[in-house]
Structure 1
Amino acid sequence: PAPAAAPSTATAVASKGRPSEIWSRSQLEAAGYVHRANGTAAHAGRQEELLHSDALDALAVGPPLPGSWSWCDVEGKSYCTANRNQHIPQYCGSCWAFSALSALADRIKIKRKGLGVDVVLSVQAVLSCSAGGISPLDVAGAPGSCWGGSPTALHQWMMRISERSNFTVGVPYETSSPYMACSQKSAMVLWEEQYTNVTFKQSAVCDAFNPQCSYFDWSRTCNTFPERGGSCVGMSQFPNATVKAHGNVQGAHAMMREIYRRGPIVCGIDAHPLLNYTGGVAGGEGRWINHAISVAGWGVDPVEGKYWHVRNSWGEYWGELGWARVKFGALKIEEECDWAEPGPFTSPENPSAPCDEDGANCVPRGSGGGLFSRTSDAAFWASSMR
């Protein structure tokens, strides 16, 4: 597949020390994805059926939009999933993945009516495919890496995986592939070549981890210490979530309608004015979109007026316990927003086949039943997904 697109030198140096974590249109298209940020539309299935804003208006049901709304407080019940932090154990420009997967996890919680434990989707599994790989994921270039990406690309990528596997394979849950803040080395080299006088490095942890796009990096378990004869295996069965439809919205009314009808969305934003945010309603026009957040609702401040209820991916130490309020129309938040609707996902009502503690009964076919081989894993994916 085509590798993740890198920014031009002009784009890279324009950030004055803090490069954008969000792809431009040219970067998105260079990676094999379709730019759809010029309006409001839905994209469902192989036919790429487009439902433009007038059709979406016709689909709207129920009472008029309320003056304020938050999925974190629906008659005293929260449908928002946990805050996360993209910056530990090391810096990684993965906001595009955190924001999109958090909004999708919220929608899964809404689908389940808040029952059971929260689903946490694995950002690391996505980053492990940051330069592509042989698998059902081999449907387009990767949607991003620790050096930036696109929520739009991630939704298209997940949709293609879901369709290709007949909605049996999706992004795994966090316990299958915990966050390491590591991308594939080839993605790092690609980006490094495009920057002027900048050298990118990942920690020694990433060198040892050496993520690749395989079962071993999507779902693994280790049965005991190596000195006691233990080993790690990749598993072909794992809890996961698919996507059945995705789309984009633009403008306050379309955003409110989509949030109210189906759940949180992901939006681009100018993050520079938020770096030292400590509370209140953030405002300002914004210069350029360089970050992505999820939007769970809106409210009204008696002084500042309407604001968006925004979840960041910088941990609870930042802002209002990881959240912020952003004034309507500020920081370019209403210009590029995306959403995704969950397809089948693993839950107590729809469980995946359980694996043994050592994962032995879930080792992919063709791996020889021993220590997991990424080479045989690739062969399995290639043969089983045709």
Structure 2
Amino acid sequence: MPTSRRAFLGASAVLLATGCSGTADVLGLRRPVRIAVSWSGQELRAFHSVLDGLGRLDYPVEVVPLGDDISTAFGPRSARRPDLVMLPQPGLVPPHQKDLESMPDDLAERGRARLWDELLVVDGTTYGLPFKTAHKSAVWYRPSVLKKAGLEPPTQWSEWLAMNRALSDEGIRPLALAAGDGWVLTDFLENVLLSSSPSTYRALATAAHPRPSEQPGFAAALRLLGTMWSAPGALAGGVERSLVQQFPDAIVEVFGHRRAAMVLASDFAEPVVRSFAADPDDIGIFTFPPISPGAAPPVVVGGDVMVLPKPTSDDARDLVRRLAAPAAVDPWIAEGGFLADGVTSGYSPELTRLAQQLVAPGASLQFDLSDRLGRLGDINGLWRVLTDFLVRIGGRGSDVVPEAVDDALAELKKVES
């Protein structure tokens, strides 16, 4: 998952979390374990609270925030290369498997858990471990707005469209859309595609050379998405504001400025929501409703995984073991905005709902498609195509959607070739 969301509180300098101190460390006689992360701001501070909770270590730990440049951790080796990478794009693990050390045998099963095994296990060997799970089908909203309009959170796609129309009729903008972060647009499409055509989603996720433009189910998902984005009055600030609005801005639009009713935002939005909510009791969450009545709701999953670039060290392996301990992440869970793989308790009520859905039997779970599509799903691929699609249709009515879908597929075809 691309990571521009993580820069919303400003870039951070390289920070040093020292597990022990002494002459040997000061003189550089013991090399620190360098951790490359994409986090900044609150997330980076929360990770430092996790490191602090590990207690006294026999080696120093250096945290290097790389932001959107996290993939450079796999670049040419140098004396300053990271020993451990918190990778927000698990889809990079298989293509970079030769650059990675295998995980310790006693931890390998953690990488073979539900959803993760296809990304973290190559030829029977585990090359990554889940650290942080992201529920990317969550919609945060203000319950007071719906209550005032006599509405309930939608349980089907058609109800969501009807709710948006009803809010618009009341002069309330339903959606704040962070189109300035292209991954928000792909999250929207992925949820629609997973719900409307799970077989197409799965085929694209596992194809050696995926070609979305040739899949009827993908075109149908674009048309469905177009019905929401093209509805007059649906987007707070219209397309113009949406295009310059990044992930945290859209949250503030709903809970701070209160110019919109809801925002599609993962569990990691929780600290921002609570920081800007004018009323701490006016916070609600529903999950992306299914397209068809009776169908399982879609659950798109992302996350950050721990990987060890070659060559590794005993200290780096020791740190992985410590970070993989179930209680290690408790400090971050306490701060909010963190879901641990397989853990369903200890969260706020909103995140508890999301955590339980991740392990519920029968849930339609799939990993973030844009991550699995590689370059086709990134800023020069699906991000750009969906941004252009939004510009063509945003607030202009459903009549413009068919032609815009054709144009989007044509542009996507150029990227595929």
TM-score when scaled to structure 2? 0.27
Whose helix fraction is larger, Structure 1's or Structure 2's? 2
TM-score when scaled to structure 1? 0.28
Higher Rg: 2
